[in-house]
Chain A
Amino acid sequence: MPVPAGPAMRRLRLMIVDDSNLIRRRIERTQSLPELAVVGSAGNGEEALEVFRRTDPDLVTMDLTMPEMDGIECIAHLVRLKPEVRILVISALADKATAIDAIEKGASGFLHKPFTDRQLNEALLELARIPQHA
């Protein structure tokens, strides 16, 4: 079910963070929710902070294993900058401790790589439905 969108409601702004160009392009190409607009992307945590400050996204997809600054550290920074931001971790790291760590730092969801197009869109839809001030 789509997120209700009134005429005056702006689309949710999405930033994509992954050190793989391939994955960044895939997420951008595959996401098919009309409620979302991709406003920026970054290849590591430090770049993500810069793009975040510039584009003010509502939603973020976040890889964890990245150079410069990893995803867990980046999540903590982003949540400090904007506590209501919703972050979907998209990572190959499949142990429970990492997922718990990410959630405790402020992530809202976790999607394991590899993922199908359908799994990605379902995870993004779930993220978009979370009330903004939850």
Chain B
Amino acid sequence: MTAVVNIFLKDGVLDPQGKAAHHALDSLGFAGVDDVRIGKQIIIKLDTDDKVKAEAEAKEMCETLLANTVIEDYTIEIN
């Protein structure tokens, strides 16, 4: 199975890269942009066919290493 992990700064934690991209979009004339957040995506190939197990493993990986939960939130999608 494949775990697709998306990691973003928490709401309320200023995302300076998102802000810079937002300014750039504004100055390029893209109207109506309310907010831009930049995160990262990590794709993990797992040697299991058990969706529940895959999700539990990916969650442990996020909590241990992949995300810093002081400043970041993450989502996991299992395919």
A binds B: no
